[in-house]
Amino acid sequence: MYKTMDKPLIRTGLAELLQKVDHARVGLIGDLCLDLYWLADMKLSELSRETPHYPLPVVEERFAPGGAGNAANNIAALKPAKLLVVGLVGEDWRGGLLLSALEAAGIDCSCIIRDADRVTNTYIKPLRRGISDVVYEDPRLDFESREPVSSQTEARVLAALEAMAAQVDVICVSDQMKYGCITPAVRTRLSELGGAGKTVIVDSRDRAADYTNVTLKPNEVEASRAFGDGSVSGLEQLSLLAEKIAAKCGRTALMTLGEHGCFVADADSVTLCPACKVEPPIDFCGAGDTFLAGYGTLLAAGASPLQAAQIACLCSAVTIKKIGTTGTAAREEVLAAWDAYIG
């Protein structure tokens, strides 16, 4: 049976932990993505002379890092002493945009590998606006690599992982793509690093069960698919699943629960860390990346797992209020969220 956390962080304690991020050294390895938005003004559209279609006149383009790139942006927004990012992008125009967006956030991209044989993971979202303020989203355009990385590229990723691991206290992992940079060999090496004492926190969409000796951070659906029967049940059953995950990996386990918050499970107990009660409108896109970034960064700063989970929930409360974008949570925004939802 789980228990609910009954003593939230006091504001001075939160401020002190955020200040300690000045000394945190964080690594991130994962599937870097680009989110690209094209806004079309349909009032400008005229029937094509060549085809029976009205084209989409794009009047605004904006882009932001997604996937592991969003997690990297969120870590950077908390301003740790060191942030090293390992990932893959193609030598295409989308890869150039993604790297420029990461560099604009002050992220060192020297460990990011460009590979001419890879497609930069990109999700293009065409948006239409007409006379009213209603915005309609067309089907998304997805760019993904459809084959595994080559053995040569995998060796480069493993070498970059080793170099990064030697310089950081915590490694965050964003394992999202079917054919991403987190190959079976990379998963094995991350599990070995965890077994050797390195703190490794893994957010894996489909392969959480392939890791050992790491902190897993699935959501309730991912956890049920990887460690249960696939059905999402109530909090009591999910808490038993969180306990099972912690026992399997021999490490603290997390399970994010949307509006309910998250479970923090270890060998002795399962604790529910409640989410902030955020009123609509909200946008959950990227909230899991934000949680991973907040938890990993604060753990590197010396927070306990429960403290780090509380602050990660505050970080997510900040970003879900940023509509239509995968936003970040800076330290001052986290403190403001404490004032709004806890103080």
Contact by Cβ (8 Å): 154, 185: yes
180 lies in some domain: yes
Instruction: Write the burial class of residue 58 (CB in 10 Å: 0-12 exposed, 13-18 middle, 19+ buried).
Output: middle
Residue 33's pLDDT is what? 97
252 lies in some domain: yes
Residue 232's pLDDT is what? 83
133 lies in some domain: no
Exposed e or buried b per residue across 197-219, where buried means at least 16 C-beta atoms within 10 angstroms of its C-beta: ebbbbbbbbebbbbbbbbbbbbb
**pLDDT tens readout for residues 201-223:** 999 999 999 999 999 999 999 99
Distance between CA atoms of 128 and 26, rounded to whole angstroms?
39
Residue 326's pLDDT is what? 80
> How many domains does the chain contain in total?
1
Residue 233's pLDDT is what? 86
Which structural domain range is residue 69 located in? 3-32+65-120+148-341
Instruction: Write the burial class of residue 158 (CB in 10 Å: 0-12 exposed, 13-18 middle, 19+ buried).
Output: middle
49 lies in some domain: no
Residue 291's pLDDT is what? 98
Per-residue pLDDT of the chain (343 residues; tens, 9 = 90+): 899 998 899 999 999 999 999 999 999 999 999 999 999 999 999 999 999 999 999 999 999 999 999 999 999 999 999 999 999 999 999 999 999 999 999 999 999 999 999 999 999 999 999 999 999 999 999 999 999 999 999 999 999 999 999 999 999 999 999 999 999 999 999 999 999 999 999 999 999 999 999 999 999 999 999 999 999 889 999 999 999 999 999 999 999 999 999 999 998 999 999 999 999 999 988 899 999 999 999 999 999 999 999 999 999 999 999 987 889 999 999 999 999 999 8
CATH number assigned to the domain comprising residue 256:
3.40.1190.20
Q: Please give the model's pTM, rounded to 2 decimal places.
A: 0.96
